[in-house]
């Protein structure tokens, strides 16, 4: 199946997890939580929503509600935890673990909604709340995780877990609670715990600063263009959007090209003006290291050192060893071996692709009677599009009229889910919205019972963080009696009023990908909130969403949604054939830019504390990391450079490899599905029952084996990425 080469890398993060409130923190400074707090009676965060499936009261929630709800929620949560820790009765599963699962209701609700709104539509008030409360949340979490009486109860249950009469899910819950507390420092001495508190507080404060700097830099680094002639190659709609952006900034008569938080930028394949392409690229890669008020080099240097300190405090040589111990990969060596196996082949392929691009440049320049020039990073997307047109006789502009956004969602993404799982969708216009550019749907099981509510938030805006992601406002659990309220977010440029939203193929496959995350949340069928939905290891969470991409060009699905937005005509078969023929085109570039970031992440987090860079050494250390990995190939810079590498600040520290690790599982699973009938209810029901519904209630790798019947193999990934020959090609 044809897939966007790195749609998976657009998932900036899966917002707040389904873990208990105290386990959701990013951490930060040393302000103590309020001992008690009162919430106004009209604060909607303090009570459970009465809307369907506890859908949030976006119509009532105001920014002023968050602070009081946080204060009261932390105070309430601490009272609950103290009651558990000081319970005179002997610890039991019910009076300790289940009591913890039920704790922190107000705090969890308020933090989940705030985190989601702050990511998708922030403002000055929310930025201030984020900065003010990150330290308090860190202190709050440590007050619980480092509570010796509480841990003693959990430890007792853990040591006697086999005699508690629990089923498999209950036993795993005890084990995971114990692991979570130990990895938070529960076994440390009191002096070491104080050091841990300091590290967590400082880390959280810096993490908030890093995230806000990234968003501010994206907005501050937009490229101003003086004349329309410089925009030659862009569509009329894109030029109009650039003019409107300039007008909104008080630059009437000029044009502004906004940036996304990736190294490559969407307009580069189209812009004929090489000087402008260079300006855009250089503006993109300079973000966070310009020496201005949003410079992140000093911030990330401090974050890395604090992480190394924490790992050392926990008895590990570096952050990567600490993180990977609790992943499906298990060890630094396993990750290094896998990435190391991919890197040489990826770079070799990228160099072959570069030779084709250079040949195209040479021919064009010779035809114009002008001297040739060396391929640079800002030329890659432009000339690869030309080579693709030359080799396969199509470009994205031919595809876009067949991919109107809402039609792709309803007649593509939803249609595939209905065919596979029997679920149905109905738009709800009666539920409140947090932003007008969103759509809301109720989701039903085949028997008509409620399954979930789904929010779709597609458009880019200055108040929204970059990338694409899923989050849950409400997570399923039998204990709480809840079903899922989930949302998908993308950063698709919004067209002018009255114009259709036409998608690139990458945006189409990203839509399928993100909905795979939402299916993981919707189909959750677990007892305990701790295990709900996407509460799985980082190197497993991308796997189900990558599998869902396979349906984007599955013939029956594609035929249902790939229709011309004006005429309704189906996409011509020959155009689809060209798209499929080009599936492995430019995979050397795609894999190399991804591996550049993945191996940079590992390099930074495998360094000993005394070798970590200071602020003025960060960019040189990045260069050294790429060289050490054999990825210092100038025409293909990493997808994210260190100062705007949001993943490693937002939960993927030493974990960005997870996308390619998950893709190994994905490639194996797609192969299994194709060999077992493809788009069938039997396959959908099997995937739902053995894997999607289980959340984190079972070992992640075992879930994969339960579905496929075998251990993961790397060969399907190498074939998919064009890094190894496809036996099917040889047979033809």
Distance, in Å, from the CA atom of 469 to the CA atom of 693, rounded to the nearest integer, reads 20
Residue closest to 44 by CA, chosen among 33, 60, 29? 60
Q: C-alpha dihedral over 548, 553, 558, 562, to 10 degrees?
A: 110
Distance, in Å, from the CA atom of 266 to the CA atom of 381, rounded to the nearest integer, reads 9
- Quick one: angle between helices 124-145 and 105-120, nearest 10? 140
What is the separation of C-alpha 584 from the centre of its chain, rounded to a whole number of angstroms? 24
Q: C-alpha dihedral over 87, 90, 92, 98, to 10 degrees?
A: 0
Q: C-alpha dihedral over 19, 21, 27, 29, to 10 degrees?
A: -170
Distance, in Å, from the CA atom of 695 to the CA atom of 537, rounded to the nearest integer, reads 10
Alpha-helix runs per DSSP H in 249-290? 274-286
Please return the burial class of 13, using the count of CB atoms within 10 Å of its CB with bins 0-12, 13-18 and 19+: buried
Distance, in Å, from the CA atom of 228 to the CA atom of 578, rounded to the nearest integer, reads 33
Distance, in Å, from the CA atom of 376 to the CA atom of 381, rounded to the nearest integer, reads 10
- DSSP percent split of the chain into helix, strand, coil, nearest 5: 60, 5, 35
Distance, in Å, from the CA atom of 211 to the CA atom of 127, rounded to the nearest integer, reads 10
Strand partners, 253: none
Write the CA distances from 673 to 1, 4, 664, 677, 708, integer angstroms.
11, 19, 14, 6, 9
**b/e string for 489-523 if b means 16 or more Cβ within 10 A?**
bbbbbebeeeebbbbbbbbbbbbbbbbbbbbbbbb
Question: Residue 64, Cβ neighbours under 10 Å: how many?
Answer: 12
Please return the burial class of 30, using the count of CB atoms within 10 Å of its CB with bins 0-12, 13-18 and 19+: middle
Q: Is residue 489 helix, strand or coil?
A: strand
- The answer to whether 514 is a known catalytic residue is yes
Catalytic residue among 514, 593, 622, 663: 514
Distance, in Å, from the CA atom of 439 to the CA atom of 446, rounded to the nearest integer, reads 22
Q: Is residue 640 helix, strand or coil?
A: coil
Write the CA distances from 315 to 335, 607, 648, integer angstroms.
20, 15, 22
SS3 letters for 303-371? HHHHHHHHHHHCCCCCHHHHHHCCCCCCCHHHHHHHHHHHHHHHHHHHHHHHHHHHHHHHHHHHHCCCC
What is the separation of C-alpha 583 from the centre of its chain, rounded to a whole number of angstroms? 23
Token pair of 516 as six digits: 């795979």
Write the CA distances from 408 to 427, 436, 509, integer angstroms.
15, 20, 10
Q: Which residues are catalytic?
A: 514
């Amino acid at each position: 199946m044809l897939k966007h080469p790195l749609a998976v890398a657009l998932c900036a993060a899966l917002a707040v997890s389904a873990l208990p409130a105290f386990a959701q923190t990013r951490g930060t400074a040393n302000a103590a939580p309020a001992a008690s707090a009162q919430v106004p009676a009209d604060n909607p965060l303090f009570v459970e929503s009465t809307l369907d499936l506890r859908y949030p009261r976006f119509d009532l929630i105001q920014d002023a509600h968050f602070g009081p709800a946080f204060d009261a929620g932390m105070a309430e949560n601490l009272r609950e935890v103290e009651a558990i820790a000081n319970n005179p009765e002997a610890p039991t599963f019910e009076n300790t673990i289940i009591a913890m699962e039920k704790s922190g209701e107000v705090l969890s609700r308020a933090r989940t909604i705030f985190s989601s709104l702050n990511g998708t539509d922030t403002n000055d008030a929310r930025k201030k709340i984020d900065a003010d409360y990150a330290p308090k949340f860190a202190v709050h979490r440590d007050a619980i995780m480092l509570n010796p009486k509480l841990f003693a109860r959990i430890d007792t249950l853990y040591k006697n877990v086999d005699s508690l009469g629990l089923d498999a899910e209950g036993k795993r819950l005890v084990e995971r609670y114990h692991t979570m507390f130990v990895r938070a420092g529960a076994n440390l001495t009191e002096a070491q715990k104080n050091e841990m508190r300091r590290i967590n507080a400082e880390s959280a404060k810096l993490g908030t600063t890093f995230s806000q700097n990234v968003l501010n830099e994206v907005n501050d680094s937009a490229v101003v263009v003086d004349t329309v002639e410089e925009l030659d190659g862009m569509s009329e709609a894109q030029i109009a959007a650039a003019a409107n952006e300039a007008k909104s900034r008080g630059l009437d008569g000029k044009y502004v090209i906004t940036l996304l938080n990736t190294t490559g930028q969407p307009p580069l394949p189209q812009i004929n003006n090489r000087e402008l392409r260079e300006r855009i690229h250089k503006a993109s890669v300079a973000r966070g290291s310009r020496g201005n008020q949003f410079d992140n080099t000093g911030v990330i240097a401090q974050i890395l050192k604090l992480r190394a300190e924490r790992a050392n405090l926990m008895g590990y040589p570096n952050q990567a060893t600490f993180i990977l111990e609790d992943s499906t990969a298990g060890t630094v060596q396993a990750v290094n071996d896998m990435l190391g196996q991919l890197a040489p082949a990826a770079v070799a392929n990228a160099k072959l692709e570069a030779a084709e691009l250079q040949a195209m440049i040479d021919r064009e320049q010779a035809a114009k009677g002008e001297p040739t020039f060396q391929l640079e990073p800002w030329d890659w997307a432009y000339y690869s599009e030309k080579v693709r047109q030359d080799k396969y006789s199509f470009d994205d502009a031919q595809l876009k009229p067949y991919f109107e956004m809402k039609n792709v969602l309803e007649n593509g993404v939803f249609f595939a889910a209905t065919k596979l799982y029997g679920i149905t969708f109905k738009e709800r216009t009666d539920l409140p919205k947090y932003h007008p550019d969103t759509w809301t749907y109720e989701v039903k099981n085949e028997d008509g019972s409620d399954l979930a509510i789904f929010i779709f938030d597609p458009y880019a805006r200055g108040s929204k963080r970059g990338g694409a992601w899923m989050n849950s406002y409400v997570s399923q659990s039998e204990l709480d009696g809840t079903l899922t309220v989930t949302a998908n977010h993308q950063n698709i440029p919004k067209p002018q009023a009255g114009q259709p939203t036409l998608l690139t193929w990458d945006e189409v496959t990203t839509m399928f990908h993100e909905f795979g995350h939402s299916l993981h949340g919707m189909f959750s069928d677990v007892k305990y909130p701790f295990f709900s939905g996407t509460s799985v290891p980082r190197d497993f969470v991308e796997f189900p969403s990558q599998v869902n991409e396979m349906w984007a060009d599955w013939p029956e699905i594609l035929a249902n949604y790939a229709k011309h937005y004006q005429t309704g005509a189906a996409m011509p078969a020959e155009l689809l054939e060209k798209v499929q023929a080009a599936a492995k085109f430019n995979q050397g570039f795609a894999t190399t830019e991804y591996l550049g970031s993945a191996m940079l992440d590992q390099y930074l987090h495998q360094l000993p504390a005394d070798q970590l860079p200071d602020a003025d050494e960060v960019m040189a250390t990045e260069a050294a990391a790429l060289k050490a990995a054999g990825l210092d190939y100038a025409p293909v810079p990493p997808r994210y450079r260190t100062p705007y590498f949001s993943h490693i600040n937002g939960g993927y520290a030493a974990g960005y490899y997870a996308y390619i690790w998950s893709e190994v599982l994905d490639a194996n699973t797609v192969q299994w599905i194709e060999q077992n009938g493809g788009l069938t209810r039997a396959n959908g029901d099997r995937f739902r029952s053995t894997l999607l519904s289980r959340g984190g209630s079972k070992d992640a790798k075992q879930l994969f084996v339960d579905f496929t019947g075998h251990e993961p193999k790397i060969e399907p990934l190498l074939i998919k990425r064009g890094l190894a020959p496809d036996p099917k090609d040889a047979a033809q």
